[in-house]
Structure 1
Amino acid sequence: MIKKIIVSTCLLFSFVSFAQEGTASPYSFFGIGDVRYKGTAEMRSMAGIGVEQDSIHINLDNPASFASLKLTTFALGGSLATTQLKNASTSSGVQRVTLDYLAVGLPMGKLGVGFGLIPFSSVGYKIQSIAPDASQNSKRFDGSGGLNKVFFGVGYAISPSLSFGADAHYNFGKIETSNLEFLSGIPVGTRETNNAILSGFNFNLGLLFQKSLTKKINLYSSLNYARESTLKSTNTSAISTVLIDAQFNTTLVDAASDVVTNANLKIPSKLTVGLGIGASKKWLIAAQLSTRDAASLANTYNSFNNVSYEKYQKYSVGGYFIPNYSSFASYGKRLVYRAGLKYEKTGLVVNSKSIQDTGLTLGIGFPVTGSFSNANIGLELGKKGTTQSNLVQENYMNFCLSLSLNDKWFQKRKYN
């Protein structure tokens, strides 16, 4: 039954992941868009913490985790994002429902493999500035698309305490933007359209290590290194004359020939280190640091003098608590309670202001009685950006849901 669910969901996800508009952030205008992937719902509920070797959950950020799986694991996650956008004078609210990841992990003794699809970043903005009269230009900016990742990874248990892993990602996607400029009261304007086709490869290496400090307390540590990678962008742009109606809908009048250019976007190497202590299947508290040098993500259509990129950093503290993992009398005691805090410098600088993201995360894991499968819900409350320097602040509340379905595959039957 679980296998049928997996196949059906894969087909659904493959269709929806390319059709969805995963963000409404004005900051998605820059670079490759708003980086939407924050980890699985279980990790996301702990501010991204992933230091423990887990036998029934996939850690998509560290390929060494595949070696810890004891059952075939299917992971699916989605989000409902509610964001209040505000500047110094106005505010508005937006909502988005997205599917965040789809992955399968297969245990093979000391070896484990994992593969899946991650919609990594999204572009989704609609910005409009209407001048009060014909003495100034009115403008409208629209954007959609994003970057997706298909990955395949292998993990190997060098010893019961140490696991090593590596994975390869193929990155692909398309970003479409439109910039419309016109004079109020005049039904003719100029529109510039840009289509960027993105593609490239990158590779990750990971380690997970644990050591017993006492009979019940363990030390957990993790290391993940993503190599520097290049995204090739093939850009097609065109300028056209359009008719504009009262609702600002456009009709093409005349268009110039397409201009095709190429650009290489550089994503620097990224290092993530985590350390924690806890009792297995009881509690965990951990801290994690991620760092990456300044990226080079300015493309031909979104390069501006007031926009630059700086060093990326993320600091997280989080953990979980399970009252009684093996309780038969009380289902509530088998629930997994998660929480975390995060501070993130996104690496984007606009109008000399560093765009930062801070947040609180909470979550609960619900075990499925009679199996190792589970459902997980999470809540993120946070703030991104600022209202200073004519910028936009995003106050967000993200609700995430995941399924981690576990089953035994590839077993030889003893009886027909």
Structure 2
Amino acid sequence: MYKLKSGILLVVTLCVFTSVAIGQASKSPFTSRGIGDINSMGLIHNKGMGGIGVSNGTPWNLNNLNPALLPYNSLTIFTAGFLGEKRNISNATTSESNSGGNLGYLALGLPIKPGKWTSSIGLMPYSNVDYQNSYYTSVANTSDSVRALITSQGSGGFNQLYWSNGVALNKNFSVGLKITYLFSSIERELNNTIEGFSDGISYTPNLLTRTSVSDFMFSGGVAFRKDSIFNNKIRFNAGLTYDMKANVKAKRYIATEQLVGNQAAIADTLSYDRGEIVLPQALTAGISFTNGYKWTAGIDVKLQQWSDFRNFRGSDDGMKNSYHIALGGEFTPDYASVNSYLKRVTYRLGVNYENTPYVLPNPETGKQVKDLGINFGWSLPVGRLSSLDFAFKVGKRGSISDNTIEEDYYQVNLGFNFNDQWFIKRKYD
């Protein structure tokens, strides 16, 4: 039975991996900078606590933030998450709303030597680009009825397929390494639709730029834990991760297209070049305190040197160094209760603040975009070891006074966490 379940789940996982079915989240003008919004490696249980997880690991949840914490997982874990969100975007004169959703992640954890060495593979977005900005302008040397609708839009993002390994050196220290394969592409379009001619036909010159990446990235982590802090029930945890600076191989395709009405009249490839995109290093540190399986509280701080970012053209795109602070925790009234299901539910709460790398509207004189979010969630036990996970976030990014644009957003994360014992060596037939 174990072999059958193992085979079915592995086949399904591999099929989904190869299909790369990762869609778009909701539109945001901030994703026009750099390579778009960078996705957090945290899973749903991390998101419910504001994103913390660099120092705290549990046997029931896969730790995706620090590979050094994987040895906590002595059971085989398969987990998947889905994201839905709504954004209200406004400036001084207007506002609009949009919504969307996508597959958040797929991940599988396999204990090679339970309690000593655990390996994990996963697929999830690395960045997301989804924006559209439009405005009208007059056309020189024409009548007042002729005007141009200028539209700038982008879509896509980079995806990541990763392999992580964590090894426990002793009861206090563990180390981990993650290898990430970055792939997929970002498309950006700029077009001017000229309207108002007497013949009623519109003319649209369109410029398309597609940037694709295919390369590896590396990161590592260490973790420390010490039992019997303050009293014999409290454990102290500390974790540190480092994402190495990466010169990612890239290809850029540029083409033009002339639309007359809705028909393509002229299409031409301008260039097809090879180059690289420089992704900056990042350092994340966290500490937490845990009381058995009852409660955990902690804080994580992440620093990333986005001033070192370089796009395909070699420009930093106005990006600035960023930092991210997350504070949160979880509480389970009684994980072993047989009389009350609600006592076995894990409840989570957290808050996060980020000084993002984006500077709007002017990278020279503008202020960096701030992002503040309040998070909460819970895990509902299913069976003996598995769970249904939920996380919700209410946040605000940017401000009209500092950045001319602000977003109020709402995120819903849903997922499942399947734990089981695989590859057990039978003692008796």
- Give TM-score scaled by structure 1 length: 0.92
Deviation at 1:119, TM superposition (A): 1.2
Structure-2 separation of matches of 1:47 and 1:382: 11
Can you list the C-alpha shifts for 1:155-186, whole angstroms capped at 9, x where unaligned? 11111222111111111111112111133314
2:193 pairs with 1:193: no
SS in 1 for 2:242: strand
2:138 pairs with 1:127: no
2:409 pairs with 1:396: yes
Can you list the C-alpha shifts for 1:195-231, whole angstroms capped at 9, x where unaligned? 1111222111111211121211111111111111122
Structure-1 separation of matches of 2:266 and 2:329: 59
2:262 pairs with 1:284: no
- Give TM-score scaled by structure 2 length: 0.89
2:421 to 395, 405, 408: 408
Tell me what 1:217 maps to: 234
SS in 1 for 2:175: strand
2:168 to 129, 154, 157: 157
Q: Which deviates more from structure 2 when the two are superposed, residues 128-137 or residues 322-331?
A: 128-137
Cα contact 1:42–1:363 (8 A) shared by 2: yes
2:96 pairs with 1:92: yes
Tell me what 2:40 maps to: 37
Q: Which deviates more from structure 2 when the two are superposed, residues 383-392 or residues 274-283?
A: 383-392
Structure-1 separation of matches of 2:367 and 2:325: 19
Can you list the C-alpha shifts for 1:79-111, whole angstroms capped at 9, x where unaligned? 111111111111111111111111111112311
Tell me what 1:328 maps to: 338
**Pairing 1:39-54 to 2, within 5 Å after superposition:** 39-50=42-53, 51-54=55-58
Structure-2 separation of matches of 1:57 and 1:393: 34
Cα distance change, pair 301–238 in 1 and its aligned pair in 2 (3 A) = farther
Structure-1 separation of matches of 2:403 and 2:425: 65
Deviation at 1:255, TM superposition (A): 2.2
**Pairing 1:374-389 to 2, within 5 Å after superposition:** 374-388=387-401
| Structure 1 residue ranges without an equivalent (≥5) | 245-249
Deviation at 1:377, TM superposition (A): 0.2
Structure-1 separation of matches of 2:80 and 2:326: 23
SS in 1 for 2:306: coil
Cα contact 2:298–2:328 (8 A) shared by 1: yes
Cα distance change, pair 9–156 in 1 and its aligned pair in 2 (3 A) = closer
Deviation at 1:300, TM superposition (A): 5.3
**Pairing 1:161-172 to 2, within 5 Å after superposition:** 161-172=172-183
Structure-2 separation of matches of 1:334 and 1:164: 31
Structure-2 separation of matches of 1:237 and 1:178: 10
Deviation at 1:256, TM superposition (A): 2.9
Tell me what 2:250 maps to: 233
Structure-2 separation of matches of 1:388 and 1:14: 45
1:83 to 82, 87, 97: 87
Cα contact 2:187–2:209 (8 A) shared by 1: yes
Structure-1 separation of matches of 2:314 and 2:137: 23
Cα contact 1:87–1:390 (8 A) shared by 2: no
Structure-1 separation of matches of 2:225 and 2:313: 47
Cα distance change, pair 89–193 in 1 and its aligned pair in 2 (3 A) = same
Structure-2 separation of matches of 1:405 and 1:135: 60
Code of the aligned partner of 1:344: E
Cα distance change, pair 390–195 in 1 and its aligned pair in 2 (3 A) = same
Cα contact 1:30–1:302 (8 A) shared by 2: no
Q: Which deviates more from structure 2 when the two are superposed, residues 395-404 or residues 126-135?
A: 126-135
Cα contact 1:202–1:229 (8 A) shared by 2: yes
SS in 1 for 2:45: helix
Cα distance change, pair 154–205 in 1 and its aligned pair in 2 (3 A) = same
Tell me what 1:247 maps to: none
2:321 pairs with 1:294: no
Structure-1 separation of matches of 2:83 and 2:396: 17
Cα contact 1:10–1:102 (8 A) shared by 2: no
Tell me what 2:280 maps to: 268
Can you list the C-alpha shifts for 1:311-348, whole angstroms capped at 9, x where unaligned? 11001110011111111110100111101111111212
